[in-house]
Amino acid sequence: MSLYTEITKLPRDPIIGLTELFKNDKRSTKYNLGVGVYLDENGNVPVLESVKKAAQLLYEKKDPCVYLPMVGLESFCEATKKLLFGLTYSSNVNIITTQTLGGTGALRLGAELLQRTKTVPFVAISEPSWENHRNIFESAGFKVKTYPYYDPNTNSFLFEQFLTFLKSLPKYTVVVLHANCHNPTGIDPAEEEWQEILDIIQKLDLIPFFDLAYQGFKASLKEDVSVLQTYIKFEKPFLVANSFSKNFSLYGERVGALSIFSCSHEESIKIQSHLKNIIRSLYSTPPTYGQRIVEQVLSNQKLYAIWQSEIQLMRTRITDMRNQIVKAFEEENLTSFSFIKDQHGMFSYSGLEKIHAEELRKKFGVYILDSGRICIAALNKNNLKYVTNAISAVVYKKMIQTKSF
Ligand code: LMR
């Protein structure tokens, strides 16, 4: 009997754990289409021009590396608030924006705060959802249920089923919503559907917790926050976890924010005291470098314009890859993948199964998630043919096996 006898080995993380497998793969031809990381046309994680320029400015300033306030640098939080809610709400005292360790940190911080309210019956996430959502909320002590979201037979959003589910929820249920570029399906509600969803949520006093990890990857920085701007008009409590990992290509810096809208300034003050207390118990104060870069870009018109065009470039390249992969599949006589063109963001929920994912990995060094999620943003003209050939080989093999039964 040792100290650790009672703990058992857990399975690998479905996303980050897959990257570990990928790194240990010694083959020279291998592609990681698992994790949500944008790669440029040469297969590299880009260093954005706007980020380089901001880094140069920071270098010249030579600011000392002091402890930041527990809730992060005020100018960063203010700039983030403006980016999410627009000028009209940028000085609204009922919104508190706190710097967090990426989007994950924002979700967890929000979950810890909600746990302290003792009023949330449970948390609802979509089926399917980002692989880490359940883990985050369960780790904060919540029961997590799933809501109907995606029909794999038609590759479409289960709007009516979702509404019926929402109407059955008790007051203060937290509903985790992907603000855009739903992860993993890439299927978002249409504008009119959002209106209805948000209206029911506010009428029933449910608590939406928006996860915004892909701002700029669907239509534009502005359009991709329209859902937040619609909801804020109801003046009902909600939370937003946003990440700057993808749109700044600053994955390792862990820059994100949690924004909480509450109904009064008194409530905001109480909430902030708890956020400070939670942060202090976890990591005291957030790191400085990444958020300074983001703050520089957000508050400097020239850098902001460069950043905007860089996001547009990433977005366009992903759309191009969507079109090209569908075309390449058609050349392989796989005509059933045209839905990939209708999805948004980095991913395609391909319909491939675990057995395909395992074979792709073993035989071809092509890493996709066991759920069938493929990171389209990691495709380029050099690996596209290889990847589609590999997928075609595993799909055909499965079809032949099925027929022979
Ligand atoms: C993903 O979904 O692949 C990314 O958000 C990375 C992560 O942390 O899972």
Which atom of ligand 1 lies at the shortest distance from residue 104's CA? 8
Say how far apart CA 53 and CA 56 lie, in whole Å.
5
Residue 363 has phi, psi (to 5 degrees) of -85, -35
Which atom of ligand 1 lies at the shortest distance from residue 375's CA? 3
Ligand 1 first shell, C-beta below 6 A: 15, 35-36, 130, 132, 183, 213
Instruction: Give catalytic status of residue 211 as yes or no.
Output: yes
Which pLDDT score is estimated for 29? 95
Which pLDDT score is estimated for 398? 66
* pLDDT category of residue 333 using cuts at 50, 70 and 90: confident
**Hey, whose CA ends up nearest to atom 5 of ligand 1?**
36
Say how far apart CA 229 and CA 214 lie, in whole Å.
16
* Average pLDDT value for residue range 21-47: 97
Instruction: Give catalytic status of residue 246 as yes or no.
Output: yes
HSE-up of residue 368 (Cα within 13 Å, Cβ side): 32
* Average pLDDT value for residue range 89-101: 92
Q: Give yes or no for residue 404 having a pLDDT over 50.
A: no
**Hey, whose CA ends up nearest to atom 2 of ligand 1?**
36
For residues 99 and 286, the answer to whether their CB atoms sit within 8 Å is: yes
Between the CA of 35 and the centroid of ligand 1 the distance, in Å, is 6
Q: Give yes or no for residue 242 having a pLDDT over 50.
A: yes
* Cα separation values, 72 from 58, 292, 371, Å: 17, 10, 36
* pLDDT category of residue 402 using cuts at 50, 70 and 90: low
Which atom of ligand 1 lies at the shortest distance from residue 13's CA? 9
**Hey, whose CA ends up nearest to atom 6 of ligand 1?**
36
pLDDT in tens, 149-159: 999 999 999 99
* Average pLDDT value for residue range 336-360: 93
Helical spans, DSSP H, in 62-190: 74-89, 102-117, 133-139, 159-167
Active site residue: 81, 211, 218, 236, which one?
Answer: 211
Between the CA of 60 and the centroid of ligand 1 the distance, in Å, is 33
Q: Give yes or no for residue 163 having a pLDDT over 50.
A: yes
Which pLDDT score is estimated for 332? 84
Helical spans, DSSP H, in 262-353: 265-282, 289-299, 301-331
Closest by CA to 80, choosing from 341, 272, 256, 342, is: 256
pTM: 0.96
Which pLDDT score is estimated for 336? 81
Active site residue: 81, 218, 246, 307, which one?
Answer: 246
Residues 6+ apart with CB under 8 A from 164: none
The answer to which of 134-138, 307-311, 336-340 has the lowest mean pLDDT is: 336-340
Residue with tokens 């027929």: 403
Closest by CA to 318, choosing from 359, 355, 347, is: 347
* Average pLDDT value for residue range 365-374: 97
Instruction: Give catalytic status of residue 130 as yes or no.
Output: yes
**Under DSSP, is residue 371 helix (H, G, I), strand (E, B) or coil?**
coil
- Higher-scoring residue by pLDDT: 240, 400: 240
For residues 21 and 361, the answer to whether their CB atoms sit within 8 Å is: yes
Q: At what angle do helices 49-61 and 301-331 cross, to 10 degrees?
A: 150
Between the CA of 15 and the centroid of ligand 1 the distance, in Å, is 6
Which atom of ligand 1 lies at the shortest distance from residue 36's CA? 3
* Average pLDDT value for residue range 17-37: 96
As a whole number of angstroms, the longest Cα–Cα distance in the chain is 70
Say how far apart CA 276 and CA 109 lie, in whole Å.
10
Give the number of residues written for the chain. Answer: 405
For residues 350 and 374, the answer to whether their CB atoms sit within 8 Å is: yes
For residues 261 and 272, the answer to whether their CB atoms sit within 8 Å is: no
Which atom of ligand 1 lies at the shortest distance from residue 184's CA? 2
Closest by CA to 230, choosing from 262, 192, 264, is: 192
* Average pLDDT value for residue range 85-103: 92
Between the CA of 46 and the centroid of ligand 1 the distance, in Å, is 17
* pLDDT category of residue 405 using cuts at 50, 70 and 90: very low
User: How high is the mean pLDDT of the chain?
Assistant: 95
**Hey, whose CA ends up nearest to atom 1 of ligand 1?**
36
Q: Give yes or no for residue 187 having a pLDDT over 90.
A: yes
Which atom of ligand 1 lies at the shortest distance from residue 132's CA? 9
Q: What is the full DSSP assignment across 383-400?
A: THHHHHHHHHHHHHHHHH
Both tokens of 300, joined, read 């400097």
Instruction: Out of 104, 125, 132, give the residue to mutate to test ligand 1, the one with the largest number of ligand atoms within 8 Å of its CB.
Output: 132
Instruction: Out of 35, 45, 129, 182, give the residue to mutate to test ligand 1, the one with the largest number of ligand atoms within 8 Å of its CB.
Output: 35
Active site residue: 81, 130, 188, 307, which one?
Answer: 130
pLDDT in tens, 260-300: 999 899 999 999 999 999 999 999 999 999 999 999 999 99
Instruction: Out of 13, 15, 214, 247, give the residue to mutate to test ligand 1, the one with the largest number of ligand atoms within 8 Å of its CB.
Output: 15
Closest by CA to 290, choosing from 241, 252, 243, is: 252
Both tokens of 296, joined, read 């520089």
